[in-house]
Amino acid sequence: MNINRRAICAFTTMAISLCAVAQSGTNSPYSQYGLGVQSDQTTGFNRGMNGLGIAFREHNQVNTINPASYSAVDSLTFLFDVGFSGQVTNFKEGNRKLNANNADFEYAVAAFRLTRNFGLSFGILPYTNIGYNYSTTGKTAGSASTTYANSYYGEGGLHQAYVGLGYQFFKGFSLGANVAYLWGDYTRLVTNSYTDSYAKTIQKIYTANVTNYKLEFGAQYQFNINKKNIITLGATFTPGHKLGADPECKVISTNPSTAVSDTASYSVNNGLEIPMQFSVGATWDYNRQLKLGADYTYQKWSSVAFPVYNVINNVPQYALDGNYYTDRHKLTAGGEYCGDEQSRYFLKRLHIRAGVSYATPYTKINGNDGPSELSASVGFGIPIVNSYNNRSILNISGQWVRTSAKNFITENTFRINIGLTFNERWFMKWKVD
């Protein structure tokens, strides 16, 4: 297969991926708040360490969470990485339990070296996910015979197609940047109905469509303590900004006796925004076999408002709420062990990974803190060896995520992540073809 045919295959996969990202990757009721559940924007090797990677410089993997790492990509090779996941989630509220299954396309990314110390990456990644469908029932206050039914449905999310560059300015020091096209939409429906034939059915429909941009800047500095010990420091910064979207809310009131409906429409000009984000990380590499690291991420959501529908003094309004979000902090620690990735022995080339994380809420629910997350993962990087390629890697990891908020639903998710990194020597000049 020549270079042109390989390029066509890679870009065709990217195009197919654009359709696949429209699928929802969550069943969580917590995705009904804000922009949805924040997606893991990492690739297969990161996920084995539960998302660790701010200070990782990999020559044979695409590390999208710090664009400065692109400068470490091997020369002569083209990296292409695609990932999928499948999950089972257990929902628990009081004595009630429910399970839900979900499968999702996760990402498609690529990277190669342009010139010495200068790498390029591009691909498609998720940003947020929305997907839920549930209902509640009960008796209305002051009436023994009238019951109510509230149903909640939502779908959508935001996605990003990015191009990034990373350059090593001098030995050990690299800078990089990702420029992304951010797009997506969401639809949320809340329906309140009653068995009383005189009580109106109220349906609220929330919609928004986003087409904007997202920037991310990264830096890494690597230095040797001695021949066996290497330290790498990393940092990234994402500026916050308005998304230029005008979220809408429609309130439909239906008289069950006459089936006559009244519709009131509201909108908020430029009502959606993403926050400033800052991350730092450090890794210790011992003898190019054992890598241990930690990352910290801060998202300044408290400076971001979100549109909310309320009725105040019998006057309905759809307006920005400056107390909707709260700042999010996330800490991740993990590592990787590989005996010798150049060895002829399969087990010595096997990558063994593990990581743990804790993240605070970024939304509030009825004035209280939303869900926090505790998660852990283990994974393997399995070398693929065949007659013409011994550099590609199959990344498999298992992850457990516990999402909970006081007096609300507790979610326990068990997820399998599968990523396949194709490592092809596209740019080598063969003497015999």
pLDDT tens digits for range 8-36: 555 555 555 555 554 557 889 999 999 99
β-bridge partners, 86? 103, 416
Q: Report the alpha-carbon angle 64-68-70, nearest 5.
A: 65
Token code pair at residue 188: 């949320």
Cβ atoms of 283 and 295 within 8 Å: the answer is no
The Cα–Cα gap between 83 and 62 comes to 12
Biggest CA-to-CA distance, the chain: 87
Per-residue pLDDT for 6 more than 60?
Answer: no
Contacts of 96 (CB under 8 A, 6+ apart): none
Q: What is the pTM of this model?
A: 0.90
Quick one: what percent of the chain has pLDDT higher than 90? 67
How many Å is the Cα radius of gyration of the chain?
Answer: 24
Is residue 176 very low, low, confident or very high in pLDDT (cuts 50, 70, 90)? very high
Q: Is 289 exposed, middle or buried (0-12, 13-18, 19+ CB in 10 A)?
A: middle
pLDDT for 15: 52
Label residue 44 left, alpha or beta by phi (over 0 means left) and psi (-120 to 50 means alpha): alpha
β-bridge partners, 163? 122, 179
Is residue 391 very low, low, confident or very high in pLDDT (cuts 50, 70, 90)? confident
The Cα–Cα gap between 127 and 333 comes to 22
Per-residue pLDDT for 198 more than 70?
Answer: no
Name the DSSP letter for residue 31.
Answer: G
Burial 327-338 (b: 16+ CB within 10 A, else e): ebebebbbbbeb
As a whole number, mean pLDDT of residues 306-331 equals: 93
pLDDT for 430: 46
The Cα–Cα gap between 384 and 364 comes to 46
β-bridge partners, 84? 105, 418
The Cα–Cα gap between 229 and 290 comes to 10
Per-residue pLDDT for 432 more than 70?
Answer: no
The sign of the torsion formed by the CA atoms of 137, 139, 141, 143 equals: positive
Cβ atoms of 123 and 108 within 8 Å: the answer is yes
Q: What is the pLDDT of residues 32-53, one digit of tens each?
A: 999 999 998 899 999 999 999 9
Domain 3-424 class in CATH: mainly beta
pLDDT for 142: 61
Secondary structure of residue 145 in the 3-state scheme: coil
The Cα–Cα gap between 173 and 79 comes to 22
pLDDT for 3: 45
Smallest Cα–Cα separation from 419: which of 43, 18, 13, 40?
Answer: 43
The Cα–Cα gap between 43 and 15 comes to 18
Query: What residues does each domain of the chain span?
Result: 3-424
Smallest Cα–Cα separation from 41: which of 162, 217, 132, 155?
Answer: 162
Token code pair at residue 342: 């150049």
As a whole number, mean pLDDT of residues 135-157 equals: 80
Contacts of 314 (CB under 8 A, 6+ apart): none
Does 384 or 390 have the greater pLDDT score?
A: 384
Neighbour tally for 433: CB within 10 Å: 5
* Stretch (H or E) spanning 235: strand 229-238
